[in-house]
Amino acid sequence: MSGKPVLHYFNIQGRMESIRWLLAAAGVEFEEKLIMCQEDLDKLKNDGLLMFHQVPMVEMDGMKMVQSRAILNYIATKYNLYGKDMKERLLIDMYTEGMADLFELSFKVILGPPEQRDATKSLIKDRAKNRFFPAFEKVLKSHGQGYLVGNKLSKADILLTELMYCVEEFDASLLTNFPLLQALKTRVSNLPNVKKFLQPGSQRKPFTTPEMFEEMKKSFKF
């Protein structure tokens, strides 16, 4: 069609949201084919488009890309958001993998048993406040630069900003003691592409609650 990437996923944040953030921040317009029911998903599988029978899947550059980390790494490399050398890549990977741990906990709130939801939410708050945010604040403090790695916007800054918005949904006060993180969040949010993405009507998905997910599940067999 138009050569724009096409994102195949459910109408929720889930494992596609980081990809939406990264493309948006890179100024890359994309289309979405939302999977609204089991038949939509089955069609993708039966057409052989999903290497491991799963979404996210992104059609881009003539390929059907799957696995969110692979997709994020490809986009980051293509749009110069992955540092300038091996050592910068390593730092970006280390930081984004730490962020992924916290994102996984947020998925667990939605996907895990209802009776464990409160415990998981407490764990998210605890880990954010005592493990992850201090680590990233320390990075920014150590070099005093505006971005996490190499004094330049990278996948790490964009995903950390996404993470901060996510964690805020659990407890808005969590960023209180992290002035450099707050400054980074503001700085990245004010970049023209990100600012646009943060406005109502963009392709950004609303914060997914367990109730929203339960409702969505009704159209599927899982």
Partner 1 sequence: MAGKPVLHYFDGRGRMESTRWLLAAAGIEFEEKFVTCPEDLEKLRKDGVLMFQQVPMVEMDGMKLVQSRAILNYIANKYNLYGKDTKERLLIDMYTEGMADLNELISSLIITPPDQKESKMNLIRDRTKNRYLPAFEKVLKGHGQDYLVGNKLSKADILLTELLYMVEEFDASLLANFTLLQALKTRISNLPNVKKFLQPGSQRKPPMTEEKLEEARKVFKF
Residues of this chain that bind partner 1 (CB under 8 A):
51-53, 61, 63, 65-70, 73-74, 77-78, 86-87, 89-90, 93-94, 97-98, 101, 131-132, 135
Q: Work out how close the CB of 195 gets to partner 1 at its nearest, in angstroms, rounded to a whole number.
A: 29
- For 24, the token pair is 């948006």
Give the Cβ contact number of residue 54 at 10 Å.
Answer: 14
Please give the backbone phi and psi of residue 102, each rounded to the nearest 5 degrees, phi first: -70, -40
CA 152 to each of CA 28, 57, 88, 146, 157: distance values in angstroms, whole numbers, following the listed order? 18, 28, 11, 8, 9
Which residue's CB is nearer to partner 1, number 104 or number 214? 104
Cα separation, 31 vs 83, in Å, equals 27
Q: Work out how close the CB of 31 gets to partner 1 at its nearest, in angstroms, rounded to a whole number.
A: 20
Which residue's CB is nearer to partner 1, number 74 or number 107? 74
Which residue's CB is nearer to partner 1, number 13 or number 73? 73
Q: Work out how close the CB of 156 gets to partner 1 at its nearest, in angstroms, rounded to a whole number.
A: 11
Instruction: Name the helix (H) or strand (E) containing 182.
Output: helix 179-189
Q: Work out how close the CB of 198 gets to partner 1 at its nearest, in angstroms, rounded to a whole number.
A: 28
Question: At 2, which amino acid appears?
Answer: S
Q: For the chain, what is the largest distance between any 2 Cα atoms, rounded to a whole number of angstroms?
A: 51
- For 206, the token pair is 């609303």
Which residue's CB is nearer to partner 1, number 1 or number 52? 52
Which residue's CB is nearer to partner 1, number 62 or number 200? 62
Q: Work out how close the CB of 86 gets to partner 1 at its nearest, in angstroms, rounded to a whole number.
A: 5
Q: Are 6 and 16 in contact (CB under 8 A)?
A: no
